[in-house]
Structure 1
Amino acid sequence: MVRENRGRRVLGMALSVFLLLLSVGVTYGAREDRPLWLRYSAVSPDGKLVAFCYRGVLFVVPATGGEARALTTGADYAAAPVWAPDGKQIAYEGHRYGNADIFLMPIEGGEPTRLTFHSTGESPLAFNATGDSIYFRAMYTPNARSGGFVTGWTRPLYRMSVKGGDPALLLTHPLAALDLSKDGKTMLFEDVKGNEDPFRKHHESSITRDIWSYDRTSGKLSLVVERAGEDRNPRYTPDGSAFYFLSERNGQSMNVYKASLSNPSAASAITAFEKNPVRNLTVSRDGLLCFSYDGELYTMREGVTPQRLKVSVNYPNEEFAVRDITFRSGATDASMSPDGKEVALVVRGDVFVTSVEHGVTRRITNTPTQERSVSFSPDGRTLIYAGERDGSWNLYTMSIVRKDEPNFAGSTELEEKELLKNGKQNFQPLYSPDGKEVAFLQDRTKLMVINVDTKAVREITDGKQNYSYSDGDLSFDWSPDGKWLTLDYVAKHRWANNDIGVVSAAGGQPIIDISQSGYTDGEPRFMMNGEMIIWLTDRYGLREHASWGAQQDVFAFFTTKEAYDKFMQSKFEDELDEAAKKANDDKAKEPESKDKKAGKDKDDKKKEEKKKTIKMDFSRPDDRIVRLTLHSAAISDALVTPDGKSLYYLAQFENKYNLWKVDLKEREAKKVLNLEVGGGSLSFDKDAKYIFVATGSSLIRVKESDHSRKNVSYNAQFSLRAPQEREYIFEHAWQQVKDKFYRTDLHGVDWKYYHDTYKKFLPHINNNYDFSELLSEMLGELNASHTGSGYRGSSSEQAASTASLGLFYDANYRGKGVKVAEVLIGGPFDRAASKVKAGTVITRIGGEEVESLASLPTLLDRMSGERVRIDYQGGSEVVKPISLGMERELLYQRWVEQRRKEVDSLSKGRLGYVHIRSMNGSSYRDVYDNLFGLYNDREGVVVDTRYNGGGHLHEDVEVLFSGTKYLDQVPREHLVSEQPRKRWKKPSVMLMGEANYSNAHGTPWVYKNQQIGKLVGMPVPGTMTSVWWETQIDPSIYFGVPIVGYIDRNGRYLENQQLEPDVKVRLDYQKLDAGHDTQVEKAVEVLLRECDAVKASSPWTAIDAKYSK
Structure 2
Amino acid sequence: MLAPSPALAQSTPAAATAPQGYYRWPALHGNTVVFTAEGDLWRTSTSGGTAMRLTTHAGIESRAAISPDGRWVAYTAAIEGAPEVYVMPIDGGQPKRLTFEGESAWVVGWTPAGEVLYSTGRYSGQPARQLVTINPQTLARTLLPVWRSTHGVVDERGQLYFVTGGLQSDNTRRYRGGAMAQIWRLDTRSKAEAVPLTRIPQGNNAQVMLNGNELVFVSDRSGTRNFWRMRADGSQPQQITRFDKDDFDIRQAQIHNGRVVYTQGADIKLLDLASGRDTKLDIRLVTDFEQARERWVRTALTNNFSGVSLSPNGERIVITARGRAVVAGTGDLRRIDLPLQSGTRTRAAVFTPDSRNVYVLNDVSGETEILRLPANGLGEAVAVTKGAAVTRTGMAPSPDGKWLVHTDIEHRLWLTNLSDNSSAQIDNAPSAYGEIVWAPDSSALAFTRALSNRRGNDVLFMMRVSDRKPVQLTSDRYTADGLAFTPDNRWLYFLSDRTLNATNGSPWGSRNMGPLFEKRDRIYALALQTGQRFPFMGRDELTDGGEAPATAPGTPPTTPPATPAATPPAPAAAGAAATPAAQGSGPAPTPAPAAGGANAAARTFPIDWDGLDKRLYEVPLAALPAGNYRSIKTDGRRLYFIETESAGGPGGVRGTLKSIAIDNNATPAETHSTDVATVQISANGRKMLVVRQTGGGGGPGGGGGAREFFIYDTGARPPQGPEAARAAVRVGDWQIKVNPRDDWKQMFADAWRLHRDFFYDPNMHGHDWKAIRAKYEPLLPRVSERSELGDLMAQMVAEINALHSQVGSGTEVRSGDELNISTAGLGADFSKVADGLRIDRIYAGEPELPGERGPLAQPGRDFAVGDVITAINGQPARNVAELGELLRNQAGKQVLLSYKRGSITRQAVVVPVNPARERNLRYTDWEVHNRQKVEQASEGKFGYIHLRAMTSPDVGAFAREFYSVFDREGLIIDVRGNDGGNIDSIIIEKLMRRAWAYWQSRRGDGGGYNMQAAFRGQLVVLIDENTYSDGETFSEGIKRLGMGTLIGKQTAGAGVWLSNSTGLMDGGIMRAAEFGQYGLDGQWLIEGIGVVPDIEVDMPPRASFDGADAQLDAGIAHLRKLTAEKPLREPRQPAFPKR
**Alpha-carbon distance, 1:168 to partner:** 3.1
- Given the alignment, which residue of 858, 869, 875 partners 1:842? 869
Tell me how far apart the structure 2 counterparts of residues 984 and 494 of structure 1 sit (CA, whole Å): 29
C-alpha offsets along residues 1005-1028 of structure 1, whole Å, 9 cap, x if unaligned? 111111111111111233122213
Tell me how far apart the structure 2 counterparts of residues 1029 and 28 of structure 1 sit (CA, whole Å): 46
Question: SS of 1:467's equivalent?
Answer: coil
**Alpha-carbon distance, 1:520 to partner:** 4.4
Partner of residue 317, structure 2? 343
Partner of residue 268, structure 1? 239
Check the 8 A contact 1:205/1:229 in 2, yes or no: no
**Alpha-carbon distance, 1:1061 to partner:** 0.8
Question: SS of 1:1028's equivalent?
Answer: coil
Check the 8 A contact 2:24/2:263 in 1, yes or no: yes
- Given the alignment, which residue of 155, 170, 173 partners 2:147? 173
**Alpha-carbon distance, 1:811 to partner:** 1.9
Residue identity in the other structure for 1:149: Q
Tell me how far apart the structure 2 counterparts of residues 537 and 988 of structure 1 sit (CA, whole Å): 38
Partner of residue 672, structure 1? 671
- Given the alignment, which residue of 418, 431, 436 partners 1:467? 431
2:218 matched to 1:246? yes
2:40 matched to 1:42? no
Superposed, 1:8-157 pairs within 5 Å as 35=20, 37-44=22-29, 47-73=30-56, 75-131=58-114, 133-140=115-122, 142=124, 148-150=125-127, 154-157=128-131
Partner of residue 369, structure 1? 344
Check the 8 A contact 1:345/1:353 in 2, yes or no: yes
2:381 matched to 1:413? no
Tell me how far apart the structure 1 counterparts of residues 613 and 211 of structure 2 sit (CA, whole Å): 84
Check the 8 A contact 2:836/2:876 in 1, yes or no: no
Check the 8 A contact 1:362/1:716 in 2, yes or no: no
Residue identity in the other structure for 2:181: R
**Alpha-carbon distance, 1:527 to partner:** 4.2
Partner of residue 329, structure 2? 355
RMSD: 3.3
2:720 matched to 1:738? no
Check the 8 A contact 1:258/1:270 in 2, yes or no: no
Check the 8 A contact 2:451/2:476 in 1, yes or no: no
Tell me how far apart the structure 1 counterparts of residues 602 and 861 of structure 2 sit (CA, whole Å): 80
Superposed, 1:790-869 pairs within 5 Å as 790-791=808-809, 794=812, 798-811=818-831, 813-819=833-839, 821-822=841-842, 824-825=844-845, 826-851=853-878, 854-869=881-896
C-alpha offsets along residues 886-933 of structure 1, whole Å, 9 cap, x if unaligned? 22233333222222111111212111112223223432233234323x
Residue identity in the other structure for 1:217: R
Check the 8 A contact 2:632/2:639 in 1, yes or no: no
Tell me how far apart the structure 2 counterparts of residues 831 and 237 of structure 1 sit (CA, whole Å): 48
Check the 8 A contact 1:98/1:793 in 2, yes or no: no
Tell me how far apart the structure 2 counterparts of residues 339 and 970 of structure 1 sit (CA, whole Å): 71
Question: SS of 2:789's equivalent?
Answer: helix
Tell me how far apart the structure 2 counterparts of residues 413 and 518 of structure 1 sit (CA, whole Å): 50
Check the 8 A contact 2:898/2:907 in 1, yes or no: yes
Question: SS of 2:897's equivalent?
Answer: strand
Partner of residue 730, structure 2? 713
Partner of residue 311, structure 1? 282
Tell me how far apart the structure 2 counterparts of residues 355 and 481 of structure 1 sit (CA, whole Å): 28
Partner of residue 191, structure 1? 164
**Alpha-carbon distance, 1:254 to partner:** 0.8
Partner of residue 574, structure 2? none
Partner of residue 391, structure 1? 366
Partner of residue 136, structure 2? 162
**Alpha-carbon distance, 1:991 to partner:** 1.5
2:465 matched to 1:483? no
Check the 8 A contact 2:967/2:1013 in 1, yes or no: no
Question: SS of 1:567's equivalent?
Answer: coil
Check the 8 A contact 1:808/1:824 in 2, yes or no: no
**Alpha-carbon distance, 1:419 to partner:** 0.7
Partner of residue 961, structure 1? 991
Residues 853 and 106 of structure 1: CA distance in aligned 2, closer, same or farther (over 3 Å): closer
Residue identity in the other structure for 1:637: S
Residue identity in the other structure for 2:254: T
Tell me how far apart the structure 2 counterparts of residues 573 and 1009 of structure 1 sit (CA, whole Å): 66
Check the 8 A contact 1:61/1:311 in 2, yes or no: no
C-alpha offsets along residues 993-1045 of structure 1, whole Å, 9 cap, x if unaligned? 11111111111111111111111111123312221324745535222011111
**Alpha-carbon distance, 1:717 to partner:** 4.3
C-alpha offsets along residues 113-166 of structure 1, whole Å, 9 cap, x if unaligned? 3323443232211212122x2111223255xxxxx313xxx2222221112524
Partner of residue 1042, structure 1? 1073
Partner of residue 433, structure 1? 399
Check the 8 A contact 2:204/2:219 in 1, yes or no: yes
**Alpha-carbon distance, 1:430 to partner:** 1.0
Question: SS of 2:1073's equivalent?
Answer: strand
Check the 8 A contact 2:995/2:1014 in 1, yes or no: no
Question: SS of 1:319's equivalent?
Answer: helix
- Given the alignment, which residue of 383, 388, 392 partners 1:423? 388
Check the 8 A contact 1:370/1:387 in 2, yes or no: yes
2:475 matched to 1:504? no
Tell me how far apart the structure 2 counterparts of residues 765 and 294 of structure 1 sit (CA, whole Å): 11
Check the 8 A contact 2:534/2:548 in 1, yes or no: no
Question: SS of 1:804's equivalent?
Answer: coil
TM-score normalised according to structure 2 size: 0.83
Residues 918 and 289 of structure 1: CA distance in aligned 2, closer, same or farther (over 3 Å): closer
Question: SS of 1:760's equivalent?
Answer: helix
Residue identity in the other structure for 2:799: E
Q: Could you list the runs of 5+ residues in structure 1 that have no partner in the other structure?
A: 1-26, 143-147, 400-407, 585-607
Partner of residue 645, structure 2? 652
Partner of residue 472, structure 2? 513
Tell me how far apart the structure 1 counterparts of residues 858 and 55 of structure 2 sit (CA, whole Å): 47
Superposed, 1:466-615 pairs within 5 Å as 466-468=430-432, 474-494=434-454, 496-509=456-469, 511-527=470-486, 529-530=488-489, 531-535=491-495, 537=497, 540=500, 553-560=521-528, 565-570=533-538, 576-577=544-545, 611-615=604-608
Q: Could you list the runs of 5+ residues in structure 2 that have no partner in the other structure?
A: 1-11, 504-511, 553-600, 648-652, 694-706, 846-852
C-alpha offsets along residues 815-856 of structure 1, whole Å, 9 cap, x if unaligned? 334436325531223333222332322222233332366353
Residues 193 and 28 of structure 1: CA distance in aligned 2, closer, same or farther (over 3 Å): farther
Residues 579 and 537 of structure 1: CA distance in aligned 2, closer, same or farther (over 3 Å): closer
Partner of residue 1114, structure 2? 1082
2:267 matched to 1:296? yes
Question: SS of 2:371's equivalent?
Answer: strand
2:419 matched to 1:445? no
Residues 119 and 824 of structure 1: CA distance in aligned 2, closer, same or farther (over 3 Å): same
Tell me how far apart the structure 2 counterparts of residues 673 and 536 of structure 1 sit (CA, whole Å): 22
Tell me how far apart the structure 1 counterparts of residues 620 and 143 of structure 2 sit (CA, whole Å): 62
Tell me how far apart the structure 2 counterparts of residues 858 and 639 of structure 1 sit (CA, whole Å): 56
Check the 8 A contact 1:906/1:1081 in 2, yes or no: no
Partner of residue 230, structure 2? 259
2:700 matched to 1:700? no
Tell me how far apart the structure 2 counterparts of residues 751 and 431 of structure 1 sit (CA, whole Å): 34
TM-score normalised according to structure 1 size: 0.85
Tell me how far apart the structure 2 counterparts of residues 29 and 773 of structure 1 sit (CA, whole Å): 28
Tell me how far apart the structure 1 counterparts of residues 290 and 422 of structure 2 sit (CA, whole Å): 49
Question: SS of 1:1087's equivalent?
Answer: helix
Partner of residue 605, structure 1? none
Question: SS of 1:97's equivalent?
Answer: coil
